[in-house]
Amino acid sequence: MVQLCGLLTCQEEPVPLKSISVTLSICEFVAGVSVTLNYENEEKVPLEVFFVFPMDEDSAVYSFEAMVDGKKIQAELQEKMKAHSNYENAISQGQQAFLLEEDKCSRDVFCCNVGNLPPGSKAALTLKYVQELPLEADGALRYVLPAILNPRYQLSGGPEDSCLKMKAPVVPLEDLPYTISLVATISSQHSIERIQSNCILSPTEYLDDKKTSARVSLADGHKFDRDVELLIYYSDVHTPSVALEMGKPMQKPDSLMGDTAAMVSFYPDIPEAEPVTCGEFVFLMDRSGSMQGPMSKQDKSQSRIDAAKETLTLLLKSLPIGCYFNVYGFGSSYEAFFPNSVQYTQQTMEEALRRVKLMRADLGGTEILIPLQFIYRGPSIPGHPLQLFVFTDGEVTDTFSVIREVRSNRERHRCFSFGIGEGASTSLIKGIARVSRGTSEFIIGKERMQAKALRALKRSLQPVVEDVSLSCDLPQGLSAKMLSPEQTVIFRGQRLIVYAQLTGTMPSAEATGEVCLKYTLQGKSFENKVTFSLQPKHDDNFTIHRLAAKSFLQTKDMGFRETSAGDKKEVLEVSIESGVISSHTAYIAINKDLNKPVQGPLARRDIPTPFLLSTTAMTPWKRACRLDRSHALGHRQKKKGLSLKETSPELERAHSSNKRTNLETHHPVFGENYLVQLISLQKADGSWDLCEGLAIVLGVKLRDIRDAFTIKNADLTSWATALAVLWLHANGQDLKCEWELLERKAVAWIHNHADSRILSRTFISVHKVEDSLELSLLSCCMN
């Protein structure tokens, strides 16, 4: 079951939600968002209602207000327990009161009590937040308006006062009673190339001739039944910059909000280096029951567990020879493929792939903490640093305990986390990656998990960037206090954002400052410098200040129950000063201008949520969607070169042949997906054997390949491996990011094992099999 955000009573029954309106303003890579939810009490009795909604954990919520029957009630940020007490006192006296807080168990869920909503009254609840937008691999900036709030698995002995314990009825999608409207304005110093979405948008309206400003909106009648995603493409997103923002007037000196705030953005030009071949790679895979659900309600092509299994197969095939690895599945219990991590060989890879095929989403709830503790207690392997890959739909209740466990082991490992499907906890996925100096990814809708997982694996294989430092050269009398945590790890192709507080006297209009990023890679020193004007700009919303406060809070605030006393004091000070909510603060508003107290007992209602197909209803559409995905993976019309066939009777015969020769155990074939089949045939050392399965992928008969190979006493494996690499370049360019590591292993194997006569004959022999292939493809193997 999936639960949408909505205004719910304390007794877990809904109030009708009429509409949701969103105003989104994106400037460069920062989003400012105002969300208004419109409700109406059509009953004859007063209500106390409970509003719960998901929020990206990077969002800095800084304002909350209620408009009730034309009267605006602005909330004040207070210490959480004080706010609770003030709310309860107001309700008991018949006053209207509003309470907004971060859930005690997770930073990405917010709760709001609305007390004493009279009969016939209308309530418009508006919250405002700012957020950095993550940069995708293709250069897109990604904004997501969360809609889906999945039920979180409840641990025994967990907190009883979490809003995540609520349940709501479900209805078909077409019966949802509320719609959403969204208007987005995008501006940049660079031109806006295009805007894409997983939802239907109006045509992009450019607001100037240079295309540096644009507006889009959601199509009318959109149901809030999915996360709304926008992808913004600028002409250039890799330009380093420094932005200064004026502080608030009348604030005390040397305070966060009173001083000038700086936002420094770097795109380090880290040179490409040969990947390392050592490491202990541990894959922690969610096998809870919720993983049987589809990736999204709109794209029911594949269950989450099946997508994870395909991705795990590709990762296992891409590991370097000589490393160590293990695979864990977790739910209410956990299982490991091997008692301890084992060396990566053909035998251990085959055993792991055999067990991947048997994996099911059959381990109950989502209890990730215990397997994490078991992994961390395991012995370290000298010379092989631990790299942890976590795949989960994120339906965990107490995320702060998990984040604390990962952080306490951050010196011995990095964690790369993946949120699978809509509603995955951004607090968990981003939190465990951030505290362990790894990276996080989210996969929703039709996105391919494989591409994002391989990007993370490539990063884990990058040589370690060391001695990272950031320094500021400022005029005398001005100093910078860093608010972001110290950067110790940076990856090639990754954006780096740092916040600072400038203290002292701001110089004249002509003055400039310089910020310098230094690091060392494989014994060589590098530095990136940016010169910037020291004239700060005014922003009514104090966007940079609040993002800086959020960055600081993410470092210090480890939850209502987990934060140390010393850190809690700093969290309270920064949160209340900046207005950015934390786990220790809450927004409280009381309408003290009512002519008379609200009378009568409070009633309760429920907002329905959409019905999600059960796992038993998934089978009818699996086959069609898999065929559709096969097309994307290389099912193309025949062309000259090593191409694919339109039909696959040979493939079926090869399947039968493999079964007869007992090859299926070691080389599983995934339907008609030729690229996946080719990957499944590759051995751990990077080579391919010349077999019937490979011939079918190449689109030729095995006998013809053998006849084209005329070199006596030479190894056919070298010939097969060269042809497989050629096929990848000829037919798999669209998915190159997924097979680059496989190809790298194959090319290394060819250099170490192949007869030079084979390489010189390969291009000539390919002409004998099919008409032509570009010589440049062969050079990829030879150079």
In this structure, the dihedral spanned by the alpha carbons of residues 590, 591, 592 and 596, taken in order and rounded to 10 degrees, is -130
Report the range of poorest mean pLDDT among 148-157, 219-228, 302-311, 744-753: 148-157
Residue 757 token pair? 């006569």
Cα 771 → chain centroid: 44
For residue 385, is it within any domain? Answer: yes
Q: What is the mean pLDDT of residues 286-307?
A: 81
Q: Is the pLDDT of residue 663 over 70?
A: no
pLDDT, position 650: 40
Residue 212 token pair? 């540096």
Residue-wise pLDDT for 25-83, tens only, equals 999 999 999 999 888 888 888 888 777 778 999 999 999 998 988 889 999 999 999 99
pLDDT, position 428: 94
Give the span between the Cα atoms of 436 and 456, in whole angstroms: 14
Q: What is the mean pLDDT of residues 303-325?
A: 93
Give the span between the Cα atoms of 112 and 89, in whole angstroms: 16
Most confidently predicted of 15-19, 158-162, 441-445, 581-585: 581-585
Task: Say yes or no: 57 and 110 in one domain.
Answer: yes
Q: Considering 404, 433, 461, which residue would you say is the last residue of a domain?
A: 461
For residue 160, is it within any domain? Answer: no
Task: Say yes or no: 67 and 200 in one domain.
Answer: yes
Q: Which is it for strands 76-79 and 585-591: parallel, antiparallel or unpaired?
A: antiparallel
Higher pLDDT, 259 or 273: 259
Amino acid sitting at position 579: G
For residue 4, is it within any domain? Answer: no
pLDDT, position 710: 67
For residue 193, is it within any domain? Answer: yes
Q: Is the pLDDT of residue 174 over 80?
A: no
Q: What is the mean pLDDT of residues 222-247?
A: 88
- What are residue 229's DSSP bridge partners? 144
Task: Say yes or no: 286 and 384 in one domain.
Answer: yes
Give the span between the Cα atoms of 683 and 377, in whole angstroms: 32
pLDDT, position 620: 31
Task: Say yes or no: 415 and 496 in one domain.
Answer: no
Task: Say yes or no: 53 and 195 in one domain.
Answer: yes
For residue 363, is it within any domain? Answer: yes
Q: Is the pLDDT of residue 600 over 80?
A: no
Q: Considering 461, 486, 517, which residue would you say is the last residue of a domain?
A: 461
Q: What is the mean pLDDT of residues 162-187?
A: 70
Give the span between the Cα atoms of 267 and 492, in whole angstroms: 9
Q: List the CATH number of the domain containing 103.
A: 2.60.40
Give the span between the Cα atoms of 329 and 361, in whole angstroms: 9
Supply angle C-alpha 447, 453, 459, rounded to 5.
Answer: 135
Residue-wise pLDDT for 771-782, tens only, equals 334 333 344 333
Task: Say yes or no: 398 and 318 in one domain.
Answer: yes
CB of 656 closer than 8 Å to CB of 706: no
Q: Is the pLDDT of residue 225 over 60?
A: yes
Q: Is the pLDDT of residue 507 over 80?
A: yes
> What is the Cα Rg of the chain in Å?
28
Please, what is the average pLDDT of the chain? 81
pLDDT, position 619: 32
Task: Say yes or no: 304 and 356 in one domain.
Answer: yes
Q: What is the mean pLDDT of residues 463-481?
A: 90
Q: Is the pLDDT of residue 763 over 80?
A: no
For residue 303, is it within any domain? Answer: yes
Give me the long-range contacts of 259-262 (CB less than 8 A, separation at least 24). Answer: 259/501, 259/502, 259/503, 260/501, 260/502, 260/506, 260/536, 261/499, 261/500, 261/501, 261/502, 261/542, 261/544, 261/545, 261/548, 262/480, 262/499, 262/500, 262/501, 262/502, 262/544
Task: Give the pLDDT band of residue 103 (cuts 50, 70, 90).
Answer: confident
Task: Say yes or no: 393 and 492 in one domain.
Answer: no
Q: Is the pLDDT of residue 669 over 50?
A: no
pLDDT, position 648: 37
Q: Is the pLDDT of residue 421 over 70?
A: yes
Residue-wise pLDDT for 671-719, tens only, equals 347 888 899 999 999 999 999 999 999 888 888 888 777 666 667 898 8
Q: Cβ of 634: how many Cβ atoms within 10 Å?
A: 24
pLDDT, position 606: 54
For residue 351, is it within any domain? Answer: yes
Q: What is the mean pLDDT of residues 234-247?
A: 90
pLDDT, position 335: 96
- The three-class DSSP label of residue 250 is coil
Give the span between the Cα atoms of 369 and 156, in whole angstroms: 13
Q: Is the pLDDT of residue 637 over 70?
A: no
pLDDT, position 630: 34
Q: Considering 435, 461, 487, which residue would you say is the last residue of a domain?
A: 461
Residue-wise pLDDT for 725-762, tens only, equals 999 988 888 888 889 999 999 999 988 886 655 554 54
Length of the chain, please? 783
CB of 674 closer than 8 Å to CB of 697: yes
* Helix (H) or strand (E) run with residue 388 in it: strand 386-392
Burial of 339 (0-12, 13-18, 19+ CB in 10 A): exposed
pLDDT, position 644: 29
Task: Say yes or no: 187 and 112 in one domain.
Answer: yes
pLDDT, position 629: 31
Burial of 12 (0-12, 13-18, 19+ CB in 10 A): middle
Residue 134 token pair? 């993550």
Task: Say yes or no: 489 and 589 in one domain.
Answer: no
Residue-wise pLDDT for 432-462, tens only, equals 999 999 999 998 877 889 999 999 999 999 8
* Helix (H) or strand (E) run with residue 740 in it: helix 736-753
pLDDT, position 765: 41
Q: What is the mean pLDDT of residues 229-245?
A: 91
Q: Is the pLDDT of residue 770 over 60?
A: no
Residue-wise pLDDT for 322-379, tens only, equals 999 999 999 999 999 999 999 999 999 999 999 999 999 999 888 899 999 999 999 9
Phi, psi of 563 (to 5 degrees): -75, 135
Domain count, the chain: 4
Task: Say yes or no: 411 and 471 in one domain.
Answer: no
Give the span between the Cα atoms of 679 and 692, in whole angstroms: 14
Q: List the CATH number of the domain containing 284.
A: 3.40.50.410
Return the sign of the alpha-carbon dihedral for residues 556, 53, 128, 207: positive
pLDDT, position 769: 39
Q: Is the pLDDT of residue 137 over 70?
A: yes
For residue 170, is it within any domain? Answer: no
Q: What is the mean pLDDT of residues 89-116?
A: 87
Residue 116 token pair? 């004493």
Q: Which is it for strands 6-9 and 241-245: parallel, antiparallel or unpaired?
A: unpaired
Task: Say yes or no: 40 and 142 in one domain.
Answer: yes
**Residue 383 domain boundaries:** 280-461
Please name the residue that has the structure tokens 């320094």: 471
Give the span between the Cα atoms of 727 and 643, in whole angstroms: 8
Higher pLDDT, 633 or 199: 199
Phi, psi of 303 (to 5 degrees): -75, 160
